[in-house]
Amino acid sequence: MPCFAQTEWYQKDFILGTFYDPPCLGLSIEKDSSSFQLAKDAYFNLLTGTQENRFINHEYDGMVRALSIASKLGLFYLVSDNRYFQAYDHPFDSINGVSLITQYRNLATNERNALYGYNLGDEPHFNSTHLENISSWKWFIESSEPHKLVYLNLVGSFAADNNWGGFKHGNKDGSLDKPEMEDYEQYLTYYIDSLRPAVVSFDHYPFFKNGTVRRDYFYNLAIVRAKAGLRPFWAYPMTVGHYDYIDPNEAHLYFMFFCPLAYGAKGLIAFTFWPPSENGFRTSLFDRNGNKTLTYEIVKRINLYVKKVVAPVVMNVQNIAVYHVTNFPNQQQWMSDTLNQNSKVIASIGNDQVMAGVFKNLKHTYLFIVNKDLTSISNIEIVLKGKIEKVWLAPSVVDFDEITSLSYTEKRTIINIKINCSTFILPTISGGEGRMIRIQ
């Protein structure tokens, strides 16, 4: 099912991407190929071109080298050419613009096929200069390369509370007050409604070392999903410990990968693949010496699971609703999607820590059940509306690997004819885990 495109680009594949890509040092093709292979082996399919200058050459020659290696490995690549990358800092220059497009249009076929699009930058500020610069580059590149994605990632709603990058009404109290929410939605109007990107992408990292959880996390997912409309949206799971954020464990990673999927996200960009050298950043999928961490193995397994189990549903079946039982965790703010008597498909869920994304097309209805707690829960009673004799459970992400059967397991329901409902029990779901269930 093709996704919405602003021009002639549309999203065909679910995206599993890297932020702070594997290094491409330019010393030897073998070493750079081995470096990119690390992402391929973990089931990533897109490198976003984001990396420090010492780890990637952002000149044209460096971009072509990266595209050439990506093409041989079957990876997609977003160009981050320094003539425009971080476009908010580069007023549009027609000479550079024409030179840029001419060069990339004339690449060899393999490199053109690996060229997924152009990365404009990360987290533009809430000001007219950033919008003007990005807008000029966006429309120029998009009109010149209509079959390629012109990509921009937006900051999360917590920026409004922190008075980050041009926000002015934040009180820095760790919650999202109404003036802050209104500021953030104006920011989204700036960069979504006026700029009209083909993909709406944003980052939001909910977990802190002191155990607190941001209270606007699910609001942010909901408002981005709403603003995106028919366009795909992508989210950023946090895979690197940094500053006051937690060093994520398996449950945190499940949560940050699976919650966006319940909202219908069609891309997940791991922040970060390689650890930034900036002070305050700790290990990610690799440590500072380039050694794989446990996070690499966990994310590899999650990516494989998403690719084989979740993505086929998300990419082909419409996400029609998201329901929470309560505002857990930490009294989430501005939630308008709590389960109620008017909810579609689901009558009730017997656990306050659970949420559900509902996907439906003419053939099937799916529920993606997510445990919002970081510890396992068991015997979750799910009551469906109508007479439904059976449901089918997808395999779990726990211990999932290449040889795990993709078959759904049949489970009979208990039908209550009097109230026209059908009940089944989901035995166990790990902390943060998401589980796909087919109803029909």
| In the block, residue with structure tokens 């998403």 | 306
- Residue-wise pLDDT for 348-398, tens only, equals 999 999 999 999 999 999 999 999 999 999 999 999 999 999 999 999 999
pLDDT reading at 1 higher than 70 = no
What is the helix (H) or strand (E) element at residue 139, kind and residue range? helix 128-144
Task: Output the average pLDDT for the chain.
Answer: 96
- Residue-wise pLDDT for 313-322, tens only, equals 999 999 999 9
Q: Mind giving me the DSSP string for 69-134?
A: HHHHHT-EEEE--TTTSSGGGS---HHHHHHHHHHHHTS-HHHHHHEEEEEEEE---SSHHHHHHH
pLDDT reading at 3 higher than 70 = no
Q: How far apart are CA 10 and CA 3, in angstroms?
A: 5
- Residue-wise pLDDT for 86-103, tens only, equals 999 999 999 999 999 999
- Residue-wise pLDDT for 225-249, tens only, equals 999 999 999 999 999 999 999 999 9
The pLDDT-based confidence of 143 (bands split at 50, 70, 90) is very high
Sheet of 318-324: strand order equals 318-324, 354-360, 365-371, 434-438, 390-393, 409-412
Q: What is the percent of the chain with per-residue pLDDT over 70, rounded to a whole number? A: 98
Long-range contacts at 124-128 (CB < 8 A, ≥ 24 apart):
124/88, 124/152, 124/154, 124/155, 124/165, 124/191, 125/88, 125/165, 125/166, 126/159, 126/165, 126/166, 126/167, 126/183, 126/186, 126/187, 126/190, 127/165, 127/166
pLDDT reading at 220 higher than 80 = yes
For residues 23-47, average pLDDT: 97
The pLDDT-based confidence of 440 (bands split at 50, 70, 90) is confident
Q: What is the pTM of this model?
A: 0.97
Give the per-residue pLDDT at 8: 87
Give the per-residue pLDDT at 265: 98
For residues 398-421, average pLDDT: 97
Angle subtended by helix axes 128-144 and 94-105, to nearest 10: 40
Q: Could you say which DSSP state residue 265 is in?
A: -
Give me the count of residues in the chain. Answer: 440
Question: What domains, with CATH codes, occur in the chain?
Answer: 15-314 (3.20.20.80), 318-438 (2.60.40)
- Residue-wise pLDDT for 389-406, tens only, equals 999 999 999 999 999 999
Q: How far apart are CA 118 and CA 102, in angstroms?
A: 14
